[in-house]
Chains A and B, each alone.
Chain A
Amino acid sequence: MHTALLHSLWHYRGFVLGSVQREFQTRYRNSLLGALWTIINPLAMIIVYTVIFSRLMQARLPGVYNDLAYGIYLCAGLLTWGLFAEIIGRSQSVFLEHATLLNKLSFPRICLPLVVVLNALLNFAIIFCLFLGFLLVTGNFPGWVVIAILPVLLIQIVFAVGLGIILGVLNVFFRDVGQMTGIVLQFWFWFTPIIYPPSILPESAAALLKWNPMVPLIQSYQGIFVQGAWPQWSALWPMTLISVLLCLFALSLFRKRSGEMVDEL
C-alpha cells in the first residue's frame, strides 16, 4: 500500500524539490548578501556557544580537560535538537498553512510534510558542515567516528517525521495541538541533557531520563563529538523500533483522515 504513496511522490518530485528550493530562496530574496546569510546566521550561533560559553564563561564539562569541550557538547546537542524541533514545529502546522492549496487542488498531500523535512535537512546540512569545519580548524575533529552520526540521524528523522505528521493531522481537527506542541517542546528540551551534563541531575530526576526517547540520540551525538566514542547501539534499538512504529502509525492516520482533513480546512 505504501508503493502507491512512493509512486505519487516520485511523480511529484519536481514539485517537492521546487518547493524546497523556493522556500530556501524566499528567505533571502531582496537581501543584499543573499545566500551568505545562510552561513552567517549559523556561524554566529556556533561562535556564541563555543567561544562565549567555553572561553569567557569558563564553563567546563566535568572530566574533560579541553577549553572548547563544553562548546562542542552544546553544539552537538543543540544543532541536532534544532533539526528535531524544526521538523516537528513545521510539520504540525503544514496542513493549516497550505489550507487553500489543499482545498483547491488535487495533488499527493504527503508532499507537504516532505517539503518541510527536506527544508529542515537542508538548513541542518549547512549549519552542520560549518560545525564540522569549525572542528577541523580548531583541531577537535573526532575522526572516522563521525560517520556514526548518520544512522543516529536517520533514526531521529524517522521519529520526528512520524511525530510531526501525527501532530500535523491532529492540529487540523484540534487546534490546541499546535499550541501544546510549543510548550511540550520547551519542557522536552530542558528535560534532555543538552545544555547541562546528565551528571548534575539529582538521582530521582536522572532515573526519569530513561523514559525520554531523545536522550539516547542526543547522548550519541555528544559522545561522538566530545569523546570521539562510537554510540552504544544497544541503547538505540528501542528508539529505532519506536520511530518506525510511530512513522507507520502516522502514515495510517494520515491516510485515514486526509479526506476528512480537507473538509475541515
Chain B
Amino acid sequence: MGNIQVTGLGKAYRQYPTRWARLAEWVLPWAKPRHQLHWVLRDVSFQVKPGEAVGIVGINGAGKSTLLKMITGTTQPTAGHIQLEGQVAALLELGMGFHPEFSGRQNVFMAGQLLGMSIEDLNSLMPAIEAFAEIGEYMDQPVRTYSSGMQMRLAFSVATARRPDILIVDEALSVGDAYFQHKSFDRIREFRKAGTTLLIVSHDRQAIQSICDRALLLDHGRLALEGAPEEVMDFFSAMIAEREQSTIRQERLADNRIRTISGTGEASVAEVVLLNRDGKAIEIIETGVPVTLRVTVDINRDIERLVLGFMIKDRMGQAIYGINTHRIHRPLKNLKAGERAVFSYSFDANIGKGNYSVALSLSRLDSHLDMNYEWQDLALIFHVINTRKPDFVGCASLDAKLEIEHHPHAEGVATDAISH
C-alpha cells in the first residue's frame, strides 16, 4: 500500500489555430487532426515507495501542479501512466466545496463527501475534526463569518481526518498562522511515521529537507534531477540564481554528499579553511572556542563591487548563521582581474555538537540573485564536539545560567492554611 509508480508521464494541451478548427476536427470524419500539442510535461518517470517522502521542486510553470493533478486524477495524462496503490488524499486546494452561507459543520459534511467519505465516517470523525480545527463555537456559524485562517484550519482538518496511504501536498500549508502551520506539519509527520507515503511540492527548503527522503527537480516539464533533498535543493537554488550565462557544477565529496558550485565566474573561491587560535587549519572544533574562517578569492575579471557571504548550515541543510560583507558595509570595490583577496571572519563557535557545512557566495550585492559570481554549497565541512561544556541539546550554545530558589516544605504554614 502507498506505492506511486509514474511511467513515461506526459501532458499536452491541444492548441487549435481557430475555434472552427476544433469543430471541423470533431465533425468531419475524414479531416486530419488540426491541433498542435503543447507539451507541459514530458517523459517523467519515478517511483515513490510505500512510506517514502518525496519532495518536488521547480520554478513556476515547470509542471509541478500538472504532475500532481494527474496523480490525483483531476486531469488525464496525454502519455504514459500512473499506478497508485492505496487510498489517496490530496491537499491541493483546501476549502473546495465550502459554501459561505452554510455552517462549518454542514460544510465539513459536504467537503468530506466530496473527498469520498461517507456520512457515517464523517459522523464518527466529526469530534476529531472539530477538536483539531480549534475554531470553537464558530463550527456552527456560517463559513462567511470565518477568517481565512479559520477556513484553512477547518479545511485541513477535514482533508486529513483519516490517515491516507498516500498524501499529496501542494504548498497549501504555507497558509494560516504559525501555530497552525506547526500543528498541520506535525500531523503530516505523524502520518509519515505511521507509514503514509508522502509527495510534497514546496519552495520551502526547510520543509523539503526536514521531511523528505528524496527530491525531484522539474524543469521545463522534464525531470531534471533526482536525488537527496540537500543536493537537489542546492542545485535548485543555484538554478534560480543562474538563469543565464553561467554554469552549475556538482562534485561528489568524500562522504558522498554533493557540492554544488555555480556562478558567472568573475570571481572564484581559491581556498577556504577554518583556523584555530594558533592559525592551524582544523576540521574538528570544540564548542565555544574562537575560530577564524579564511576565504581566499581570485578575481578573474574586472568587477566594480564584490561581496563575500558565508552561511553555516546544519546537517539537514538548515541555516544556523550567515552574514556577508555587504551587511557590515565592507564590500570591496573596483577590483582588477588577477587580484586576490583574503577574507577572515573570526567568531566564537557557539554552536552545538554535530556536523556543519559552510556555503559561500561571491556576489555584487546583498543577494546572490542579482549578480552571482560564484555560489558554493558545502564549501567546507566541520564537526563540532563538546567536551568542556555541559552536554546541551540543539545547535545554539546559549550558556544558560541557572539560579534556583528552593523553599523546603514549611509544615507549620501548611497546617495553618488547612485548619482555617
Report which A residues bind B (CB closer than 8 A). Answer: 11-12, 14-15, 18-19, 22, 25-26, 29-30, 100-107, 173-174, 259-260, 262-263
The proximity string for B residues 37-72 relative to A, scoring 1 for CB distances below 8 Å and 0 otherwise, is 000000000000000000000000000000000001
Q: Which of B106-114, B256-264, B311-319, B404-412 contacts A (4 or more CB under 8 A)?
A: B106-114
Q: Which of B95-103, B223-231, B369-377, B381-389 contacts A (4 or more CB under 8 A)?
A: B95-103
CB of A100 within 8 A of CB of B113, answer no
CB of A263 within 8 A of CB of B75, answer yes
Q: List 5 A-B contacts (CB under 8 A).
A: A12-B113, A18-B110, A19-B110, A22-B102, A103-B74
CB of B93 within 8 A of CB of A105, answer yes
CB of B114 within 8 A of CB of A262, answer no
CB of A22 within 8 A of CB of B74, answer no
B 122-144 contacts with A by CB, 8 A: none
* Smallest Cβ-Cβ distance to B74: which chain A residue: A106
CB of B99 within 8 A of CB of A14, answer no
CA distance A260 to B23 in the complex (A): 14
Is B118 in the interface zone, CB < 8 Å from A? Answer: yes
Closest 3 CB pairs of A and B: A259-B76, A106-B73, A104-B93
CB of B119 within 8 A of CB of A14, answer yes
CB of A259 within 8 A of CB of B113, answer no
What distance in Å separates the Cβ of B317 from its nearest Cβ neighbour in chain A?
32
CA distance A14 to B119 in the complex (A): 7
The proximity string for B residues 83-96 relative to A, scoring 1 for CB distances below 8 Å and 0 otherwise, is 00000001011001
CA distance A19 to B99 in the complex (A): 11
Within 8 Å by CB of B22, from A22, A30, A104, A173, lies A173
Is B116 in the interface zone, CB < 8 Å from A? Answer: yes
Is B19 in the interface zone, CB < 8 Å from A? Answer: yes
* Smallest Cβ-Cβ distance to A260: which chain B residue: B14
Given A15-B110, A18-B109, A18-B110, A100:B75 Cβ within 8 A: no
Contacts of B185 in A (CB 8 A): none
What distance in Å separates the Cβ of B73 from its nearest Cβ neighbour in chain A?
4
Is B13 in the interface zone, CB < 8 Å from A? Answer: yes
* Smallest Cβ-Cβ distance to B75: which chain A residue: A262
Contacts of A104 in B (CB 8 A): 74, 92-93, 96
CA distance A22 to B109 in the complex (A): 11
CB of B101 within 8 A of CB of A26, answer yes
What distance in Å separates the Cβ of A212 from its nearest Cβ neighbour in chain B?
24
Within 8 Å by CB of A101, from B72, B97, B101, B113, lies B97
What distance in Å separates the Cβ of A85 from its nearest Cβ neighbour in chain B?
26
CB of A14 within 8 A of CB of B23, answer no
CB of B23 within 8 A of CB of A15, answer no
CB of B118 within 8 A of CB of A14, answer yes
* Smallest Cβ-Cβ distance to A173: which chain B residue: B22
CB of A29 within 8 A of CB of B101, answer yes
Contacts of A101 in B (CB 8 A): 96-97
CB of B93 within 8 A of CB of A14, answer no
Contacts of A22 in B (CB 8 A): 99, 102, 106, 110
Contacts of B113 in A (CB 8 A): 12, 14-15, 18
CB of A105 within 8 A of CB of B23, answer no
Contacts of B102 in A (CB 8 A): 22, 25
Contacts of A19 in B (CB 8 A): 110
CA distance A14 to B111 in the complex (A): 11
Contacts of A30 in B (CB 8 A): 101
CA distance A52 to B84 in the complex (A): 64
Contacts of B110 in A (CB 8 A): 15, 18-19, 22
Contacts of B99 in A (CB 8 A): 22, 26
Contacts of A29 in B (CB 8 A): 101
CB of A259 within 8 A of CB of B75, answer yes
CB of A105 within 8 A of CB of B97, answer yes
Contacts of A12 in B (CB 8 A): 113, 116
CA distance A14 to B109 in the complex (A): 9
* Smallest Cβ-Cβ distance to A107: which chain B residue: B114
What distance in Å separates the Cβ of B63 from its nearest Cβ neighbour in chain A?
14
Contacts of B97 in A (CB 8 A): 101, 105
* Smallest Cβ-Cβ distance to A100: which chain B residue: B96
Most chain B CB inside 10 Å of its own CB: which residue of A19, A26, A30, A107: A107
CB of B74 within 8 A of CB of A15, answer no
* Smallest Cβ-Cβ distance to A262: which chain B residue: B75
CA distance A202 to B90 in the complex (A): 63
CA distance A211 to B73 in the complex (A): 43
